[in-house]
Structure 1
């Protein structure tokens, strides 16, 4: 099987696993303590609470309808993803949202919370949910809702990140929580979401830029890198002090997500090449973010 096909299948598997982790965090740690997510999922939880208070907890056969409500809220956002970002991102996001809906519906919500300590539940739930969403974003999709807008804004504004937009939008959701419920519900929900957002930004490699300085004796490596990575490169000729042999020095800027692909390319072009990576730099100018 071609390497590209294996990479694509692994991305889809990562999205499904990420959706499972997010649903597990919600159903096992957050919902049993009557805490709330932010964004579209939080709005879906609020709508579920209002609907259940009106029709009774035994309505819908006792099934939790949060996932279905979240799916409905995501329809207009999925249209935005299809029109403004890319079809591949659209397909992967639909896969994630559908898997989230299935897992949120099938994973049982324990009657007795697994963790009764609110802070511990927020931290553990936030870490698990953040890993799930981060894996989905790393695979080139999103979990829908605010993530779609976050990816769109990240493409347009270099200093933006998905996690930051989540914190901004969630402020509104939790203001509603504070007015509808007791204040501690909103406070602990904010702690959970803040923890989740921090984990998302750590795992979402596309937010991390890197420089790569490549030393190779092979000619035309710069042309191959431009063709395969679709990144601009700068090169000049130098010579090694020890061998006094001519060498090509190539510099390019990539996201951390592209690091593995760059290493694979260089291994095929010149297994003896020497590469220096510098992580976490700030880039301004004509640098394209890819998500």
Structure 2
């Protein structure tokens, strides 16, 4: 029970940090430089600009974010259930509060390219952290998460790029093509950074080892690395000889040791190394309902 509480606390701390990073990118970089990088915050920047002559200072970003999220959360409750909405609602509240607390301040980044790179990296890190714990900050993040529920083969950041592209076009109409082109750079970096955080946390290496000394190699991996090994029955089509092929999944750091063990025991061992995008199970990421 104690471990579960620690995991829950860790999850919500990650959401808070991610929300703060996202708000920093919006209030300190994107809004002052009028870079519409997509998302509800991007639309909020457009709306704020268009309402400056109606409302003093324009329509607040945080208030626009709240108004947009109400119908999305009602839809999320229907599709994903209340358990999902709890994390998403917490993320949205954290993001809105961060937008309210962090002042809109122009950092005087005259270089739009630098601003795009910096803002994209900070915002991408924030989104990536939040998605890594299967949460959301609402808005287009929530739309992308709901779409990902039906299209698992497409990552949430990839879906966001498509949605953000549409919003960027709106920004181009309001602020000009030049700003939109820099916003595209920011979105690209945002997607790469968030993808790297979400998928990088789960990356591993897979090794197939073909050797006549498979027993010794397997024993060394089991005892020296404390990693599981599976023996697969294989047949050499040229020699028509039955043999065992070892299969194991290890971390990126451990793959060097796997190769060293194999070559030390059998210099002629045939070793195949491949990337693994996601691993769940003992010794890696544990699945929790």
Instruction: Report the TM-score when normalising by structure 1.
Output: 0.69
Match of 2:91 in 1: 96
Match of 2:277 in 1: 280
In the aligned structure 1, how far is the partner of 2:118 from the partner of 2:288?
30
In the aligned structure 2, how far is the partner of 1:98 from the partner of 1:41?
14
In the aligned structure 2, how far is the partner of 1:6 from the partner of 1:290?
14
**Could you list the runs of 5+ residues in structure 1 that have no partner in the other structure?**
214-238, 257-275, 283-288
The change in CA–CA distance for 1:5 and 1:184 in structure 2 (over 3 A counts) is same
1:88-129, CA deviations, whole angstroms, 9 ceiling, x for partnerless residues?
Answer: 32111111111111111111122x434221111110111111
In the aligned structure 1, how far is the partner of 2:119 from the partner of 2:128?
14
1:120-155, CA deviations, whole angstroms, 9 ceiling, x for partnerless residues?
Answer: 111011111111111111122112122222222323
Matched, 1:193 2:190: no
The change in CA–CA distance for 1:211 and 1:150 in structure 2 (over 3 A counts) is farther
In the aligned structure 1, how far is the partner of 2:131 from the partner of 2:30?
22
Match of 1:40 in 2: 40
In the aligned structure 1, how far is the partner of 2:72 from the partner of 2:187?
21
In the aligned structure 1, how far is the partner of 2:101 from the partner of 2:135?
22
Q: What is the RMSD computed on CA atoms of the aligned residues?
A: 3.5
The change in CA–CA distance for 1:116 and 1:92 in structure 2 (over 3 A counts) is same
In the TM superposition, what is the alpha-carbon distance from 1:78 to its structure 2 partner? 1.4
Instruction: Report the TM-score when normalising by structure 2.
Output: 0.69
Matched, 1:19 2:19: yes
Match 1:122 to one of 91, 103, 116 = 116
1:2-39, CA deviations, whole angstroms, 9 ceiling, x for partnerless residues?
Answer: 11110110000110111011101111121111212302
Matched, 1:6 2:6: yes
**Could you list the runs of 5+ residues in structure 2 that have no partner in the other structure?**
208-213, 223-227, 232-246, 252-272, 280-286
Matched, 1:76 2:81: no
1:1-291 superposed matches below 5 A: 2-57=2-57, 65-110=60-105, 112-205=106-199, 240-241=215-216, 249=229, 279-280=276-277
SS at match of 2:152: coil
In the aligned structure 1, how far is the partner of 2:218 from the partner of 2:171?
68
In the aligned structure 2, how far is the partner of 1:15 from the partner of 1:177?
28
The change in CA–CA distance for 1:253 and 1:180 in structure 2 (over 3 A counts) is farther
Range moving further from structure 2, 6-15 or 31-40: 31-40
2:130–2:136 contact (8 Å) kept in structure 1: yes
1:44–1:73 contact (8 Å) kept in structure 2: no
2:29–2:107 contact (8 Å) kept in structure 1: yes
